[in-house]
Amino acid sequence: MAKITKKHQTALAQFDRQKRHSLDEAVNAVKSAAYAKFDESVDVAVRLGVNPKHADQMVRGALVLPNGTGKKVRVLVFAKGEKEKEALDAGADVAGSDELVQKVQEGMLDFDRVIATPDMMGQVGKLGRILGPRGLMPNPKVGTVTFDVSAAVREAKAGKVEYRVDKAGVVHCRIGRVSFDAGALNQNATALIRELLHKRPATAKGIYVRSITLSSTMGPGVRVDTNSVSVKEEEV
């Protein structure tokens, strides 16, 4: 069993771990319990009442958080000709076509998001074993396979996050950093929950949002009372 450090014990003592807090309380608890010397990320885990083994209950997508994630995102774009120039003009860190595919095959992996035009997917498909395990493979379902590369690049730079329910029915997503003010983290969390409610599968039965937990990189998880979340399903 991993040893609990004194700093972590102090963080645990700052709030009741058995209680389900309002979203405002949870955000403040996460911020106050963060103890690392670096600016920790703040993450949310939402357990959904779905069975991901069924294709019609897979919940995935992407959204631009109102206040971004606080992370500088390096964007790579696979595109040709004018689309390559368009991507660079929009702020892409690197763009190119066949020669860029070759560089990635040779080990160039200094990027956080990959966007591709549809006509490049034949070549990009060769990178499936490299990009897939890292969650970087372009996908039209999350807007990373598109001819509108300028919009895709701007969204990625603005804090667009991708989410996908895992085998346990949980969506994990970064919503900012502990240095964000509480209001900004609250807005980002609410935007994500609203998005997940909008993506509720028609075949999902019973309680859809089963639990919500907030945490920082090093800090303990704080349970959120799902009834306290301002976004209701009838609002979506």
Is 14 or 82 the better-scoring residue by pLDDT?
A: 82
Instruction: State both tokens at 1.
Output: 């069993």
Asked if the structure places residue 165 within a domain, the reply is yes
Q: Calculate the alpha carbon distances from 207 to 44, 84, 165, 210, 227 in Å.
A: 19, 46, 16, 6, 12
Asked if the structure places residue 99 within a domain, the reply is yes
Contacts of 209 (CB under 8 A, 6+ apart): 46, 47, 48, 49, 193, 196, 197, 226, 229
E strand or H helix at 164, and its extent?
strand 160-164
pLDDT band at 234 (very low <50, low <70, confident <90, very high): very low
Are 93 and 39 contained in the same domain?
no
Residue with tokens 């608890």: 29
pLDDT band at 167 (very low <50, low <70, confident <90, very high): very high
Asked if the structure places residue 227 within a domain, the reply is yes
Asked if the structure places residue 58 within a domain, the reply is yes
Average pLDDT over residues 134-155: 94
Query: Of 102, 129, 158, at which residue does a domain stop?
Result: 158
Structural domains counted in the chain: 2
pLDDT at 7 (0 to 100): 62
Are 15 and 59 contained in the same domain?
yes
Are 63 and 45 contained in the same domain?
yes
Asked if the structure places residue 180 within a domain, the reply is yes
Strands of the sheet containing 113-116, edge to edge, are 94-96, 75-78, 113-116
At residue 236, does pLDDT exceed 50?
no
Are 97 and 151 contained in the same domain?
yes
Contacts of 225 (CB under 8 A, 6+ apart): 20, 21, 22
Are 59 and 166 contained in the same domain?
yes
Asked if the structure places residue 1 within a domain, the reply is no
Query: Of 158, 181, 211, at which residue does a domain stop?
Result: 158
Instruction: State both tokens at 229.
Output: 């979340």
pLDDT band at 12 (very low <50, low <70, confident <90, very high): low
User: Could you read off the pLDDT of 209-228 as tens digits, one per residue?
Assistant: 999 999 999 988 999 999 87
Task: Report percent pLDDT > 90 for the chain.
Answer: 77
Are 54 and 85 contained in the same domain?
no
CATH number at residue 21: 3.30.190.20
Are 150 and 112 contained in the same domain?
yes
Are 29 and 57 contained in the same domain?
yes
Asked if the structure places residue 135 within a domain, the reply is yes
CATH number at residue 101: 3.40.50.790
At residue 34, does pLDDT exceed 80?
yes
Instruction: Please state the pTM of the whole predicted model.
Output: 0.80
Query: Of 158, 180, 201, at which residue does a domain stop?
Result: 158
Instruction: State both tokens at 203.
Output: 């075949």
At residue 233, does pLDDT exceed 90?
no
Q: Calculate the alpha carbon distances from 123 to 29, 105, 119, 152 in Å.
A: 47, 11, 9, 20
Are 177 and 164 contained in the same domain?
yes
Q: Domain containing 144: what range?
A: 75-158
Average pLDDT over residues 87-92: 97
Give the residue ranges of DSSP H helices in 52-145: 81-90, 98-105, 121-124, 128-131
Encoded amino acid at 208, one letter: Y
Encoded amino acid at 59, one letter: V
At residue 18, does pLDDT exceed 80?
no
Are 39 and 58 contained in the same domain?
yes
At residue 2, does pLDDT exceed 60?
no
Are 28 and 143 contained in the same domain?
no
Are 147 and 208 contained in the same domain?
no
